Amino acid sequence: MGLGWWRFLFASSCAWAQSGEIKPTPWVQNPVARHTACPVAANKPTVCTLYGAEDGNLPLEFRINSLPKEGVLYETSGVFRMFGSDPKHTPDPIGPHLLPFLITDPLHRIVYVPPYNQWPPEGAWSSFTYVVQLNLTSFYGAGLPSAATATTTIGPISEPGLVVFTNPEGSIAASSFDLEAGGDGWSVSGNLADLDTTDGGLKHHAFAWGALNRYVYGTDEVQFLDFGSAMDRSKWYFEAPESSFTGTSMTAAYGGTMRFTVRSLYGNFTELNAPLDWVTIECAACDSGSGARMVRFADDYLRWDGSERTVELRLSPVEGWMRDPLNSALDFTYASECEMAAILSNVSRVAILGDFTRSGEGVAIDNVAIFQPPPSKQPMYPVECQKGCPCRRHNPDIVRPTCC
């Protein structure tokens, strides 16, 4: 038996012998730092409550994990905790050198002060993250653990929960198109007449027309029809800007609404394309990077005849959103709570259909906005969805919210 064979046996029997496989980091499912959102007015210190969930309803401690890029965070003041009066916050803000910062307010509240003397944004001001962990002081009281519980160890730190500070109306992302010569980063996709332009042929009008006041529009100048079905083989869409309508801040939109005003400039709305995928929201990182998409189709409950209309869609399963199987051999299914929550947790695309008719049409949109749920209903993001789902497509042992 040669020296090489003994080396093989020795390496095989050692605990430190590794295969080289990089194991994924486990996802902490309990406790949960819940996602939430708080509307904030200009120059107004705003109190925002953080929420945690623990399967055994055990007490938790809350720690700020990151700070907002705009504005500052404070602890609540003693007078506010006792009497609910001003000043709401302590004199000194929470600085980066204090992270992770333990929140001492017994009701888990913090105070956000937006940038001084700035108009509220069309969308969110900023956001930050926090974590929760079992609070052993509250669990044991002032004394030491008893012999029966002396072996109890502190539980894991939760995955970060996201807090989004929206504008006073609760908007997370919005475009009013009020700038004289701007489309606010919007573009048109699928317009065969303007493939070589960066905006796809999007046009901006700086005047009022009914409920539309400074708006953008697109026109369908070239049709690509299927002669068998007489339907458009290529449809055009309004594409929302990535700078404001994508990213993790849309997590706070679950249970909220999407709203926009639409009106046709011209077109025969008695001859419609089918299907009419009116609004599409995508998450490229979902399902282990395979992507996920949910669509709200026009149907008997959501129609449009080309006249001026303000559309409001709830971002929850009751609205009738459909999950795209991303496979032409499979049928669309109604999106579940966790499927919708997963897509909203990291949005990569928001699109509004413009190509409704089988012939040429012109369509204008205005005041596109995505809103958080009302503060009285926070937090709305489902706890079970934050705990994650098995990534069945690639590795069922991996659990992530984006695999739901």
Position 183 scores a pLDDT of: 84
pLDDT of residue 167: 97
Beta strands in 5-98 (DSSP E): 32-33, 36-39, 46-49, 52-53, 60-64, 72-75
Helix/strand/coil for 129: strand
- Exposed, middle or buried, 295 (CB in 10 Å: 0-12/13-18/19+)? buried
Q: How is residue 122 annotated by DSSP? A: S
Nearest-angstrom CA–CA distance, 22 and 25: 9
Q: Residue 224: what pLDDT?
A: 61
| Per-residue model confidence (pLDDT) at position 392 | 76
Its pTM stands at 0.88
Task: Give pLDDT tens digits for 156-206.
Answer: 999 999 999 999 999 999 999 987 566 889 999 987 665 556 566 899 998
Task: Note the Cα 291 to chain centre separation in Å.
Answer: 15
Query: Residue 20's pLDDT is what?
Result: 59
Q: Give the integer Cα–Cα distance in Å for 53 and 66.
A: 20
Cβ contacts of 131 within 8 Å, gap of 6 or more:
33, 62, 63, 65, 100, 157, 158, 159, 160, 161
In 3-state terms the chain splits into helix, strand, coil percentages (rounded to 5) of 15, 35, 50
Convert the pLDDT of each residue in 125-135 to its tens digit.
Answer: 999 999 999 98
Given this model, what pLDDT does residue 45 score? 97
pLDDT reported for residue 196: 56
Query: What is the C-alpha separation between 260 and 353, in angstroms, rounded?
Result: 12
Tell me which residues of the chain have a pLDDT lower than 50. Answer: 1-17, 142, 144-153
Distance of CA 327 to CAs 145, 154, 292, 353, Å? 56, 45, 11, 21
Cβ–Cβ under 8 Å, residues 357 and 267: yes
In this prediction, residue 225 carries a pLDDT of: 59
